[in-house]
Amino acid sequence: MSGADGGARRSQAFRLPGRHGYAVEFSPYLPGRLACAAAQYYGIAGCGTLAVLEQNEAGICLFRSFDWNDGLFDVTWSENNEHVLVTSSGDGSLQIWDTADPTGPLQVYKEHTQEVYSVDWSQTRGEQVVVSGSWDQTAKLWDPTVGRSLCTFKGHEGIIYSTIWSPHIPGCFASASGDQTLRIWDVKTPGVKVVIPGHQAEILSCDWCKYDENLLVTGAVDCSLKGWDLRNVRQPVFNLVGHTYAVRRVKFSPFHATLLASCSYDFTVRFWDFSKPNPLLETVEHHTEFTCGLDLSLHNHGQVADCAWDELVKIYTPSCLAAPV
């Protein structure tokens, strides 16, 4: 394979006219399918769209799209049904959609009093629950079959930007917040388990390592990514600098223990390997606006999707991930 074009190869793009992408996620069931949560007017006002896209050799096409009357900020696929997804929106509600049913959401869960910026479906097989993190400084636990939240987690002193389930520890999730802390919660207790004062600035994103159950990474407004070991939270395991503006989202690779990707307001997506002395592997700059959404495919090794406020969703394989290790 000729690989001299340096950077993304066979990059495919899809334009969502008038909609600015906030989050993308690959389907855990169908290799070519991904969902993108987008909002009108950069998410400040107006409505939102959930676009379910189908990607193949020829390009990306729109499989189904759903509209909502407020901006959609995050999307997560169901782990027990290949057609179901959940989105969170600016009016404080969560919507559960079925791609086979184009009429509207199956159910709307309205309990948060402010924008819900993050929603995640549990990654462990034992239970099927959803956690949402909101600007009202609470996180809520939901069972999609039950119309009300199961539990509300209070403790953050600032708006919650991201709530992510641990892929190893059942019932455990992490939340990143504007109060500059990363907090770890256990669904069995409403109080926080661990508080990590991670950065001197708002923490916008966090993710768990898929190969080490104690390792998390946070991305913050101070443009750095820090790794945290839950067994010793006093200092970070690694500190990755390189972004020139706030880090908006960070994701660990599903294939490599030490590889992660981050997207930032500096329009770039960067790939890092924190076990190397020079951790920055690659910088991909193919957007002309803030990149907000990022996901790494579970099916196609090395495939990455990202979305940005320039109305584009791009799927590509960066050269640092292309060669199988």
Q: Which positions touch other proteins (CB under 8 A)? A: 42-45, 90, 115, 135, 159, 178, 200-202, 204, 221-222, 245-246, 265, 289-290, 309
Least spacing, CB of residue 278 vs other proteins, in Å: 23
Tell me which residue of 233, 154, 155 sits closest to 199, measured CA to CA.
233
* C-beta closer to other proteins: residue 204 or 263: 204
Tell me which residue of 237, 245, 242, 191 sits closest to 216, measured CA to CA.
237
Least spacing, CB of residue 171 vs other proteins, in Å: 30
* C-beta closer to other proteins: residue 142 or 309: 309
DSSP state, residue 239:
E
Least spacing, CB of residue 288 vs other proteins, in Å: 9
* C-beta closer to other proteins: residue 18 or 190: 18
DSSP state, residue 212:
-
Q: Where are the alpha helices (DSSP H) in the chain?
A: 319-322
Report d(CA 172, CA 98) in Å as an integer: 27
**103 sits in which H/E element:** none
Tell me, rounded to whole angstroms, the distance of Cα 103 from its chain centroid: 26
* C-beta closer to other proteins: residue 144 or 178: 178
* C-beta closer to other proteins: residue 246 or 261: 246
* C-beta closer to other proteins: residue 194 or 201: 201
* C-beta closer to other proteins: residue 90 or 236: 90
Q: Note the residue count of the chain.
A: 325
DSSP state, residue 270:
E
Q: What percentage of the chain's residues is helix, strand, coil (to nearest 5)? A: 0, 50, 45
Tell me which residue of 27, 60, 59, 53 sits closest to 38, measured CA to CA.
53
Least spacing, CB of residue 164 vs other proteins, in Å: 19
Least spacing, CB of residue 247 vs other proteins, in Å: 9
Least spacing, CB of residue 259 vs other proteins, in Å: 25
* C-beta closer to other proteins: residue 229 or 289: 289
Least spacing, CB of residue 108 vs other proteins, in Å: 18
Tell me, rounded to whole angstroms, the distance of Cα 161 from its chain centroid: 10
Least spacing, CB of residue 129 vs other proteins, in Å: 27
The CA-to-CA distance between both ends of the chain, in Å, stands at 16
**Strand segments (E) across 178-265:** 181-186, 192-197, 203-208, 215-220, 224-229, 238-241, 247-252, 259-264
